[in-house]
Structure 1
Amino acid sequence: MPVRRFVVEADGGSRGNPGPAGYGAVVRDGDTGLIIAEAAEYIGRATNNVAEYRGLIAGLRAAHEIDPSAAVDVRMDSKLVVEQMSGRWKIKHPDMQPLAAEARTVFPRSQVGYTWIPRERNKDADRLANEAMDAGQAGKQWEPKARPAAPELSGAEASGAESAPSPLTPEPVAPESPAEPMAPKAGWAFAADLSTPTTLVLLRHGETALTPQKRFSGSTGSDPELSEKGRWQAERAAEALAARGTIEAVVSSPMLRARETAEAVAIRLGLPVRIEEGLREVDFGDWEGLTFAEAQQRHPEDLSAWLGSTEVKPTGSAESFATLAQRVAVARDKVLARYPGKTVLVVSHVGPIKSLVRLALGAPPDAVYKMELSAASLCAVQYYSDGNASLRLLNDTGHLR
């Protein structure tokens, strides 16, 4: 049986670099040239490079859903992404490395090739990226628009054949800007922004059996349920938040302990729970289930390096605190885009909540090692339309006393 062929065209953009960003991607049938799938999304504040990589990943995933055995020709007008994914340029920036790694996991490398094309030949992906950014800045999610079927291509275009591109010569590329937001101004300094802020009330989940033992409990461990005390804590949080009467939506990590905590509040408020994958806890790898002392005994050098740099991953893990911050920033921006001007309860874990607080303050990465967040504690951050943020509450446990 002949192998099916797809052409993936992807693009991403940022209005500010970093600034409001989005991506677009189309999947074409390799024989007819017809568009058979589209993908686009507003991803909040990010750089052009991050948006371009996100577009690549979305396009590959869309193609994989149709036929995971297909041969894929990726065509992008980003010479940086094409050269890096082709292995000819090194990926030095930490924001790009996990995205490139994720893109490589969608299809086996032998099934994917990369081709640079001029911007004018990437109009469909560019159009989708701009539609996603327009929607996000209007506080909406991108939705596909009705469009006429693409005309069939003929000749070399219909067969997907192209004249071989000339070898690409590396040329100076602007430094890849970090995807993290710039340091916010002091709260009173941006009082001129009279728009209604979006408030994220950050609730750490209640205790599990592992919590009082201070064992590493991340996203690849046993995914424990709430303990009896944890359920009591979730109910107390639900009572306190219901009494405030300001929560308009509930968003949760997909992990069981967070979902159980979120559901306790949502039932009291009469609201549904929306799951956001990006809010899951960091992956602690081989340290999952260990106490700090046990991890220190078994992996002393790795643990010491991890405590010294947020770029270091736990033993056997695929994720550092730096990678977590990037993931959480994307999840945050998706929530802000979906619920502009509203008060949203976000139920998550120690790592993601510390990262959100750090990003709001514009604090250095190692600030995550200098915060204490108790089980079922509350934090709150307000986000303004001009990109500034204001921390309003940190590690509040008054409702548990």
Structure 2
Amino acid sequence: MREFIVEADGGSRGNPGPAGYGAVVLDAATGEPLTEAAEYLGVVTNNVAEYRGLLAGLRAAHALDPGAAVHVRMDSKLVVEQMSGRWKIKHPDLRPLATEAARVFPPERVTYEWIPRARNKHADRLANEAMDAGGRGEQWTPSASTAELDARRPPATRATGARGAEAEAGVRGVPGGGTGAVRGAEAEARGANAEADVRFAKAEADVRAARGVARGGTGATGATGVAGATGSTATSGATGTAGAAGPTGATAASDMTGAADPAGATATTGATDATEATGATKATDATKATGATKATGVTEATATTWPTATTRPTATTPVTAAPGWAPADLGAPATFVLLRHGETPLTPQKRFSGSGGSDPALSDIGRQQAERAAAALARRGTVQAIVSSPLARTRETAGIVAARLGLDVTVEDGLRETDFGAWEGLTFGEVRERYPDDLNAWLASPDAEPTGGGESFAATATRIAATRDRLVAAHKGRTVLLVTHVTPIKTFVRLALGAPPESLFRMELSAASLSAVAYYADGNASVRLLNDTSHLR
């Protein structure tokens, strides 16, 4: 009977977050790799990715010889113990995967062994290659892989190792990336023998070229940098100003450029579709506050519970921040991908454009932006539902994306833009000339309403908080695209961070930009992305 060794692994950059698996089948007699498998999975948990890696490895072995005996080696204690029958499988997402894995070979022909991560480098590297490819909007290909060679790299020249180099990706529950041990490993790698690096680089190039020819590929390998839609904060290259809102005379950032006030400071509205323009900000305080991602390394097997906030913040109650580690397994969060609509004719004119005005449609540029956003979302492949504001510009944007993804659009009135009352259609400078006292009051307090009975930012926050709670309850564990406006998106982010109302004036949000917030079962939230416009460049 032929004997195989299957080494498998999976990882998630965020847990859940952009995830992938890797598996390699080895000849048990010689230790030579026979076949590899890897795949980007979209947004799932570490444990799901590990089980998917196991399943792929078993299937690859079965394709080589259905009559073989298989010895599985993994660095996941959870999977090894559960598949060996010593631990119960509690999580509903894991049970069907375990059942499917158990059916690939007769149970008596499969054995399991836990190994340290350092001995699982090949599968680990494959999983990271898959995640890197997914971050570029691609799928992993064997011809571009250097996992086999990387696993054999001399220790002195190998960097931090796989699973996304924890210092790089925060994988396996390393909040904000890296530990002292990882940093030490990086330092050791940097100080490694330069001559060995040169020899390895030459060998790597030779092997990559040979494998590319043998497999009909180019032999080129893609970059392995950490990438993806989540777990990072992207800001656009738009120009911007920022500062504190209110009567201090400092800059109040906005999505409109505004006119210079007598003190020389630019007063802008920042939080709104207020101007349908991209406006500017001082580098968002929100990006500095994202901090830890919802933790990654605590598995179902370890029932450790870490202190967390027990209630989701309301529009007026600040969040109590968790210490960067989640409870054992909260399951997949409800993830809101927040898409601001494309430009309208009012955008370049920098005019207030809320829910009480002319309800403009997209311009030709706005439709092109929506198409590009749709293409980017299609490449990521994680959106499961689309919900839109009722206004024309958002419904048109959502329709373009829905056509690309093959999904329907649900309209949610709570996602509409703030009503700017008598300011609708005016520029910031025109509002300052006509309603200076009302404007100053509005900049100074979230409770102040625009002239003519518009909606205050406090009222908008209350509406968005209620809308958020409804949508989180309706879409537990799913990734949902919300097509909406500047003020709602900034309010989702502000509430997730527990930031004060004036933070609305310190975030930039470009037309057709993408942001993302994940909501967990314990009431906590994690800002994953802010103002990503890479798809528009």
- What TM-score bracket applies, with the shorter chain setting the length? 0.5 to 0.7
Larger relative strand fraction: 1
Structure 2 residue ranges without an equivalent (≥5): 1-312
- Within 2, Cα distance between the matches of 1:346 and 1:208? 18
| 1:38-117 to 2 correspondences below 5 Å | none
Counterparts of residues 130-279 of structure 1 (less than 5 Å): 180=316, 182-186=318-322, 188-190=324-326, 192-279=328-415
Q: CA RMSD in A?
A: 1.5
TM-score computed with the length of structure 2 as normaliser: 0.41
What is the CA–CA distance in structure 1 between the aligned matches of 2:315 and 2:502, rounded to whole Å? 17
**Take 2:440 and 2:327, find their aligned partners in 1: how far apart are those partners?**
43
Q: Is residue 365 of structure 1 aligned with residue 526 of structure 2?
A: no
In structure 2, C-alpha distance between the alignment counterparts of 1:197 and 1:247, rounded to whole Å = 13
1:27-73, CA deviations, whole angstroms, 9 ceiling, x for partnerless residues? xxxxxxxxxxxxxxxxxxxxxxxxxxxxxxxxxxxxxxxxxxxxxxx
User: Of residues 441, 448, 460 in structure 2, which corresponds to 1:312?
Assistant: 448
Q: Deviations over 1:194-218 (max 9, x none)?
A: 3111100000000000011110000
Tell me, yes or no, if the aligned pair for 1:202 and 1:353 is still in contact at 8 Å: yes
Distance, in Å, in 2 between the alignment partners of 1:236 and 1:187 is 37
**Cα distance 1:263–1:184, how it changes in 2: closer, same or farther (>3 A)?**
farther
Contact 1:281–1:348 (Cα < 8 Å) also in 2 = yes
Cα distance in 1, alignment partners of residues 468 and 314 from structure 2 = 16
Change (3 A) 1:232 1:277: same
- Whether the aligned pair in 1 keeps the contact of 2:314 and 2:462 (CA below 8 Å) is no
- One-letter amino acid of the structure 1 residue matched with residue 535 of structure 2: H
Ranges in structure 1 where 5+ consecutive residues have no aligned partner? 1-176
Contact in 1 for aligned 2:318/2:499 (Cα 8 Å): no
Q: Which residue of 1 aligns with 2:425?
A: 289
- Distance in 1 (CA, whole Å) between partners of 2:369 and 2:425 is 22
| CA distance in structure 2 between the partners assigned to 1:181 and 1:335 by the alignment | 19
Distance 1:180 1:343 in 2: 26
Counterpart CA distance in 2 for 1:352 and 1:252 is 12
Does the CA-based 8 Å contact 1:193-1:385 persist in structure 2?
no
Q: State the SS of the aligned residue for 1:344.
A: strand
The percent of aligned pairs where both chains have the same amino acid is 64
Q: How does 1:5-20 map to 2 (within 5 A)?
A: none
- TM-score, normalization: structure 1? 0.55
Matching of residue 332 in structure 1 with residue 468 in structure 2: yes
Aligned length: 225
Amino acid of the structure 1 residue aligned with 2:357: G
SS of the residue corresponding to residue 188 of structure 1 reads: coil
User: Which whole-Å deviations, capped at 9, do the CAs of 1:154-212 have from their partners, x for residues lacking one?
Assistant: xxxxxxxxxxxxxxxxxxxxxxx965454142472325343111100000000000011
State the AA in 2 paired with 1:246.
T
Match among 474, 495, 511 for residue 375 of structure 1: 511
Deviation at 1:309, TM superposition (A): 0.9
Distance in 2 of aligned mates of 1:265 and 1:356: 21
Q: 1:305 to 1:183 in 2, by over 3 A?
A: same
SS at match of 1:189: coil
User: RCO (CA 8 Å, sep 6+): is it higher in 1 or 2?
Assistant: 1
SS in 2 for 1:281: coil
Kindly provide the amino acid, as one letter, of the partner of residue 371 in structure 2.
E
**Structure 1 CA distance, aligned partners of 2:371 and 2:443?**
34
Moved over 4 A (4+): 177-182
- Selected match of 1:351 from 487, 506, 510: 487
The residue type paired with residue 226 of structure 1 is L
- Residue 365 of structure 1 deviates from its aligned partner by 1.2
Structure whose CA Rg is larger: 2
